[in-house]
């Protein structure tokens, strides 16, 4: 299917690996020009064909710097993908509320919520001129906040609400806003020995590989497997497309059937 994206422009945050890298490579394959922001520029991103920009979006000035660079490189922005998130690499994510100090809460919200708010605010004038599209990558944990680290799931719930509220403001001006909420995705967060999955396995006293093998069934994932980053990227492409011109203000769950409510 031709998503009619050739020649359009995109800004993608959190692009170094996982969902972000998959989104970048998919959009480029669709013919888009892409600026990709991330803290580090791994070889895979450098070789993708995107304009890779090193930036720390947990810092307040990072979003403005990234958008300014994107406008310099692209002229205008047709699509903004607020993907940056996570923040589990420091460990200490499997306890209860007493184990999370103010600094952890602040760091999680800076990365998973405020980065999207700031980047959107900076990019919005261009998106309004282009009648563009915003796609926020949240998590199905926003609807099941017990299913992950409390600061992370709460920040994602805020991001999902932000997308709904923003739609009411910018929809009448021609900008579409959608949220994608994946379930567990086969990424660093789950698979790395330094990620949340490994920490969770240690807290449960089971081998990391065993946790990964058993997790889909334990979470009630009907497909029996993790979501693949390319599947999320394909949904981003569709939502960015003119073919999805009447789809806005929605939260699109892609979790293999983990959420059971209608």
CA atoms of 181 and 83, how far apart (whole Å)? 11
- pLDDT higher than threshold 70 for residue 88: no
Mean pLDDT score, 97-123: 94
- Phi/psi for 251 (5° steps) reads -110, 110
pLDDT in tens, 192-223: 888 888 888 888 898 999 989 999 998 899 99
Nearest CA to 135 out of 3, 5, 13 is that of 13
**pLDDT at position 191:** 84
CA atoms of 37 and 62, how far apart (whole Å)? 10
Longest C-alpha distance within the chain, in Å?
A: 54
**pLDDT at position 74:** 98
Cα separations (Å) of 85 from 73, 81, 96, 159? 24, 12, 21, 11
Higher pLDDT, 4 or 200: 4
Q: Are the C-beta atoms of residues 182 and 140 closer than 8 Å to each other? A: yes
How long is the chain?
Answer: 262
Beta bridge partners of 37: 13, 53
Angle of the 150-170 helix axis to the 102-109 helix axis, nearest 10: 40
Angle of the 60-74 helix axis to the 115-130 helix axis, nearest 10: 30
- pLDDT higher than threshold 80 for residue 10: yes
Residue at token pair 């900076």: 122
Mean pLDDT score, 17-29: 97
Q: What percent of the chain has pLDDT over 70?
A: 97
Residue at token pair 């919200």: 109
**pLDDT at position 199:** 84
Instruction: Pull the structure tokens for residue 162.
Output: 């932000």
Q: What percent of the chain has pLDDT over 90?
A: 79
pLDDT in tens, 131-162: 999 999 999 999 987 767 889 999 999 999 99
Say which range, 47-51, 88-92, 177-181, has the weakest mean pLDDT. Answer: 88-92
Per-residue pLDDT band for 188 (boundaries 50, 70, 90) equals: confident
- pLDDT higher than threshold 60 for residue 90: no
DSSP H or E run through 176: strand 176-182
| DSSP 8-state symbol, 142 | G
Give the active site residues: 152
Look up the CATH number of domain 9-185+228-254: 3.40.50.720
CA atoms of 31 and 3, how far apart (whole Å)? 10
CA atoms of 10 and 31, how far apart (whole Å)? 11
Mean pLDDT score, 28-54: 97
């Amino acid at each position: 299917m031709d998503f009619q994206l050739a020649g359009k422009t995109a800004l993608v945050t959190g692009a170094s690996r996982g969902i972000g890298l998959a989104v970048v490579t998919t959009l480029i394959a669709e013919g888009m020009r892409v600026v990709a922001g991330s803290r580090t520029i791994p070889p895979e991103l450098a070789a993708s064909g995107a304009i890779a920009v090193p930036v720390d979006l947990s810092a307040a000035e990072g979003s403005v710097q990234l958008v300014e660079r994107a406008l310099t490189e692209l002229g205008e922005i047709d699509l903004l993908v607020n993907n940056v998130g996570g923040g589990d690499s420091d460990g200490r994510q499997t306890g209860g509320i007493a184990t999370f100090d103010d600094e952890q809460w602040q760091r999680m919200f800076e990365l998973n919520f405020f980065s999207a708010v700031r980047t959107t605010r900076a990019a919005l004038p261009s998106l309004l001129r282009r009648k563009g599209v915003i796609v926020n990558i949240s998590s199905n944990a926003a609807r099941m906040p017990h299913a992950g680290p409390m600061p992370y799931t709460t920040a994602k719930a805020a991001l999902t609400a932000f997308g709904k509220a923003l739609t009411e403001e910018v929809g009448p001006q021609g900008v579409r806003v959608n949220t994608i909420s994946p379930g567990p995705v086969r990424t660093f967060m789950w698979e790395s020995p330094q990620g949340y999955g490994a920490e969770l396995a240690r807290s449960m006293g089971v081998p990391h590989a065993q946790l990964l093998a058993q997790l889909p069934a334990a979470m009630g994932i009907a497909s029996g497997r993790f979501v693949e980053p390319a599947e999320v990227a394909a949904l981003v492409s569709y939502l960015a497309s003119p073919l999805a011109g009447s789809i806005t203000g929605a939260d699109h769950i892609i979790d293999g059937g983990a959420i059971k409510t209608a």
